[in-house]
């Protein structure tokens, strides 16, 4: 559990990566952590940061979504980007499912409010 908690800050950095594959990998790693270790490694501020990061991804406002409008080479419109976006959204949905299961109704209510309810 201690080594899992030590990995959390690095995984949170992955959510801020400008590459969609890297962000999706971080989400998948968080899902595995929750499945195998449980919620204790994410108590407090890390849980809040994770919920905020997932919310940004679902809103299309994460670092991996930035810069697309200024890209004149059409790179963001290709099939590779569509697949990366799909992988990112699937990873976010899988993480929210794992988080809800690990946290239970009471604790997930705060995450739900951050991710699903308008500010």
Q: pLDDT tens digits, residue range 42-98? A: 888 888 899 889 989 999 999 999 865 444 444 556 778 899 999 999 999 999 999
What is the C-alpha to C-alpha distance for residues 113 and 41, in angstroms, rounded to an integer? 21
Phi, psi of 77 (to 5 degrees): -105, -5
On whether the CB atoms of residues 102 and 32 are closer than 8 A, the answer is: no
Predicted TM-score (pTM) of this structure: 0.81
Q: Is the confidence at residue 30, as pLDDT, over 80?
A: yes
Percent over 90 (pLDDT), the chain? 48
Mean pLDDT of the region 13-39: 94
Average pLDDT, the chain: 85
């Amino acid at each position: 559990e201690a080594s899992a908690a030590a990995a959390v800050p690095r995984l949170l950095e992955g959510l801020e990566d400008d590459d969609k594959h890297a962000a999706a990998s971080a989400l998948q790693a968080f899902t595995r952590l929750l499945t195998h270790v449980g919620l204790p490694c994410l108590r407090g501020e890390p849980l809040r940061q994770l919920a905020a990061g997932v919310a940004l991804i679902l809103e299309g406002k994460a670092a991996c979504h930035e810069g697309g409008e200024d890209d004149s080479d059409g790179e963001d419109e290709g099939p590779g980007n569509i697949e990366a976006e799909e992988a990112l959204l699937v990873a976010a949905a899988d993480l929210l499912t794992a988080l809800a299961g690990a946290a239970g109704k009471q604790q997930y209510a705060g995450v739900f409010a951050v991710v699903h309810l308008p500010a």
